[in-house]
Amino acid sequence: MRIDIITIFPEMFEGPFKHSIIKRAQQKGVVKINLINLREYATDKHKRVDDYQYGGGSGMVMMVEPIANCIDELKSKNDYDEIIYMSPDGELLTQKIANRFSTFENIIILCGHYKGIDERIREHYITKEISIGDYVLSGGELAAAVLTDSVVRLIPGVLNDETSALSDSFQDDLLSPPVYTRPYDFKGMKVPDILLSGNDKKINEWRLEKAVKRTKERRPDLMDK
Ligand code: ADE
């Protein structure tokens, strides 16, 4: 999979993409993440990518030309499954969306700033708008990192134990059951004995029961699905 991220702050991705699963996925060649600095597509000598809004009002707007030039160049080289704009107005990111995106060959993720991007880009270039939650971030970069992480870990071959993605919270609209590791007894707090029984059937039943209980208590909206 190829993920092209258009941003004015490529350095913001250095932390999230240089560690753990995303790092390993890139090393394995399962995903290629390209950070594209939008300023390189600015059309004036000051490398401006934002300007005042028509109609007045506070806050700058990201200009149409640098973004259009950047996306046009990328589209001349690759076919994209989706051109995604990170925005609080977008569709709420869910595990279902992450699953679907993980089957794609090529995507573009555009990160906005300031008051947002010129509406003409949204109308004519963007094919999908995604929000990571009902709150406003300073820009789309952190949201793009969250989306990328949620998608890349689902690409086959990324996780060592393939079943571990399948038993994630939300994968079947259930939260995950509790998990334990050594020691068995920590200051009198003991691990449930069923987990030491060696009876896989009983252990799976216990995990399902705990997952359902936790989901009912904390996220009854998921049970309604
Ligand atoms: N940009 C700013 N806030 C955002 C959010 N909640 N989701 C996605 N992109 C954003």
Domain boundaries, the chain: 2-152, 169-223
The verdict on the CB of residue 143 being under 6 Å from ligand 1 is yes
What's the confidence (pLDDT) of residue 224?
A: 82
Which ligand 1 atom sits closest to the C-alpha of 87?
9
Q: How many CA atoms lie within 13 A of 56 on its CB side?
A: 0
**Measured in Å, how far apart are the chain's first and last C-alpha atoms?**
31
* Rounded Cα distance, 222 and 95, in Å: 12
* Local confidence band at 170 (pLDDT 50, 70, 90 cut-offs): confident
Phi and psi at residue 52, to the nearest 5°: -65, 155
What's the confidence (pLDDT) of residue 165?
A: 76
Distance 88 CA to ligand 1 centre (A): 4
The verdict on the CB of residue 92 being under 6 Å from ligand 1 is no
CATH number given to 169-223: 1.10.1270.20
Q: pTM value?
A: 0.95
The verdict on the CB of residue 135 being under 6 Å from ligand 1 is yes
Distances (CA, A) of 5 to 9, 10, 74, 87: 10, 8, 11, 14
Nearest residue (by CA) to ligand 1, atom 6, is 88
Q: What is the mean pLDDT of the chain?
A: 95
Among 7, 8, 9, 87, say which to mutate for ligand 1: greatest number of ligand atoms within 8 Å of CB. Answer: 87
Question: Rounded to 5 degrees, what angle do the CA atoms 49, 53, 59 make?
Answer: 75
Q: pLDDT at residue 160 above 90?
A: no
Could you tell me what percent of the chain has a pLDDT over 90?
A: 91
The verdict on the CB of residue 116 being under 6 Å from ligand 1 is no
Q: pLDDT at residue 162 above 70?
A: no
Q: Does residue 87 contact residue 112 with C-beta atoms inside 8 Å?
A: yes
Choosing among 3.40.30.10, 3.30.70.260, 1.10.260.40, 3.40.1280.10, the CATH entry for 2-152 is: 3.40.1280.10
The verdict on the CB of residue 133 being under 6 Å from ligand 1 is yes
What's the confidence (pLDDT) of residue 172?
A: 83
Report the pLDDT averaged over residues 142-146: 98
Report the pLDDT averaged over residues 89-99: 97
Report the pLDDT averaged over residues 203-225: 95
The verdict on the CB of residue 131 being under 6 Å from ligand 1 is yes
Distance 205 CA to ligand 1 centre (A): 39
The verdict on the CB of residue 86 being under 6 Å from ligand 1 is yes
What's the confidence (pLDDT) of residue 114?
A: 82
The verdict on the CB of residue 132 being under 6 Å from ligand 1 is yes
Question: For 51-75, how does the pLDDT look when each residue is reduced to its tens digit (9 = 90+)?
Answer: 999 999 999 999 999 999 999 999 9
